[in-house]
Amino acid sequence: MTLVSDPSAPRIAVVGATGAVGGTLVELFEERELPYRELYLVASARSAGREVCVAGRYYTVRDLETFDFGSVDLAFFSAGTAVSERWVPVATAAGALVVDNTRAFRADPATPLVVPQVNASELDRRPDSGVVANPNCSTIPLVRLLDAVGRRWGLRRVVVSTYQAASGLGHSGIEELQEASGLALQDPDAEPLSKRFSPSLAFNVLPQIDEVLESGFTREEEKLLHESRRILGLPGLDVTATCVRVPVVNGHSESVWVECADEVGRGELVALLGALPEVTVYDGPLTRPPVPAGLEDPDRVHVGRIRVSPNDPRGFWLWLVADNLRVGAALNAVQIAEELLARGTL
């Protein structure tokens, strides 16, 4: 159990505790034995009063509108950008350190944007804003690979196509995909269900995620660009992306082209990626590449189809798959908390 009596253990709140990422956070607290001396589950008034079991104990979900953030040391926010923009300043003013899982503070210079396997040193001191930002779900697994590649061969250009699951929109996204798929199978002539996804995601792919900006790129694609540059400490890195929603329940995939400053040896590249923490490489002529359905370990980044260009060995392709609710969101947030505790930053 992670509930402890140690007075140095943090008092923790999870805002958005009944959502897909919030629920995964709570699961990970137990799995990874994150210590806390008090735990508060917080959500909107609609979910307040529900009972949630954590490590054998039942907790009543608190109403965000009336919750006292002065009673916690560390608050995880996973309830959407609008909620974070309104309530994170309230939490930090009350003295809580916030790990935020939205885009609300990712561009704030006073807020570190952290993937612990890449830039954990950002957590050596308490941020001026009182917030640590959790990056986008597609950015996190990508930069974990790019950091090692860049240190060895240098990075010149990265081209990414993402294939993002319905769970990127939480429980409601999953439910709509399942319901819309069932409806389409039952009656192909029925009006497609398209509330969260427009047009319908059932048996379809949507080559646009989030709003389209004046540049023609979407906000999701811009997030991947700017976040990768910031986390890697490479403000001039050429990154471009196309983000696509696919009819997969959970697990984001990415096809990635990387151009390096020096020639890349394939054998060394495979060994380098395979030696990274919490990364599994699928290699060999009889080895199938990873796919979102049935990942053996949802807490690892899965990499396959590693191909160095025969025309220019400075460039290579790879395919990666990661559980977006865990690796791409909740797990990274918990690992941030673990680093904060280990470094005495809380």
C-alpha dihedral sign at 87, 89, 91, 94:
negative
Catalytic residue among 137, 243, 260, 302: 137
Catalytic residue among 243, 252, 260, 302: 252
> Do 16 and 130 belong to one domain?
yes
172 is in an annotated binding site: no
In this prediction, residue 294 has a pLDDT band, given cuts at 50, 70 and 90, of confident
> Do 48 and 78 belong to one domain?
yes
Contact between 295 and 251 (Cβ < 8 Å): yes
18 is in an annotated binding site: yes
Contact between 146 and 276 (Cβ < 8 Å): no
- Tell me if the bond preceding 188 is cis, omega within 30° of 0: no
**131 within domain boundaries:** yes
19 is in an annotated binding site: yes
Q: What is the CATH number of the domain that holds 291?
A: 3.30.360.10
| pLDDT confidence of residue 74 | 98
**146 within domain boundaries:** yes
Give the number of domains in the chain: 2
Contact between 130 and 96 (Cβ < 8 Å): yes
Of 149, 304, 316, 318, nearest to 228 (Cα)?
149
| Residue 319 tokens, joined | 């395919």
> Do 155 and 284 belong to one domain?
yes
Long-range interactions of 4-9: CB distance < 8 A, separation 24+: 4/35, 4/36, 4/37, 5/37, 6/35, 6/37, 7/37, 9/35, 9/36, 9/37
Contact between 316 and 88 (Cβ < 8 Å): no
**128 within domain boundaries:** yes
71 is in an annotated binding site: no
Question: 238-245 and 131-133: which strand pairing?
Answer: unpaired
> Do 158 and 100 belong to one domain?
no
> Do 119 and 221 belong to one domain?
no
Give the percent of the chain with pLDDT over 70: 100
> Do 19 and 93 belong to one domain?
yes
Residue 70 burial (C-beta neighbours within 10 Å; 0-12, 13-18, 19+): exposed
**189 within domain boundaries:** no
Domain limits for position 212:
139-165+205-323
| pLDDT confidence of residue 286 | 85
| pLDDT confidence of residue 2 | 77
> Do 158 and 31 belong to one domain?
no
> Do 149 and 271 belong to one domain?
yes
Q: Is 226 a catalytic residue?
A: no
> Do 240 and 307 belong to one domain?
yes
Alpha-carbon distance of 255 to 99, in angstroms, equals 29
Q: How far are the Cα atoms of 73, 154, 317 from residue 314, in angstroms, in the given order?
A: 47, 10, 11
- Tens of pLDDT along 1-17? 478 988 889 999 999 99
Sheet bearing 131-133, strands edge to edge: 62-63, 38-43, 11-15, 74-77, 97-100, 131-133
Q: How far are the Cα atoms of 15, 111, 126, 255 from residue 86, in angstroms, in the given order?
A: 12, 16, 21, 36
| pLDDT confidence of residue 3 | 86
- Tens of pLDDT along 308-342? 999 999 999 999 999 999 999 999 999 999 999 99
CA terminus-to-terminus distance, the chain:
21
Alpha-carbon distance of 4 to 10, in angstroms, equals 10
168 is in an annotated binding site: yes
Single-letter amino acid code for the residue at 143: V
**175 within domain boundaries:** no
> Considering only 25-29, 53-57, 90-94, 131-135, which range has the smallest mean pLDDT?
53-57
Q: What is the CATH number of the domain that holds 71?
A: 3.40.50.720
Alpha-carbon distance of 129 to 112, in angstroms, equals 9
> Do 46 and 151 belong to one domain?
no
> Do 38 and 156 belong to one domain?
no
267 is in an annotated binding site: no
**280 within domain boundaries:** yes
> Do 215 and 100 belong to one domain?
no
Single-letter amino acid code for the residue at 175: E
Of 143, 151, 98, nearest to 117 (Cα)?
143
**5 within domain boundaries:** no
| pLDDT confidence of residue 5 | 85
- Tens of pLDDT along 155-172? 999 999 999 999 999 999
**149 within domain boundaries:** yes
Alpha-carbon distance of 226 to 346, in angstroms, equals 27
| pLDDT confidence of residue 239 | 98
Q: Is 243 a catalytic residue?
A: no
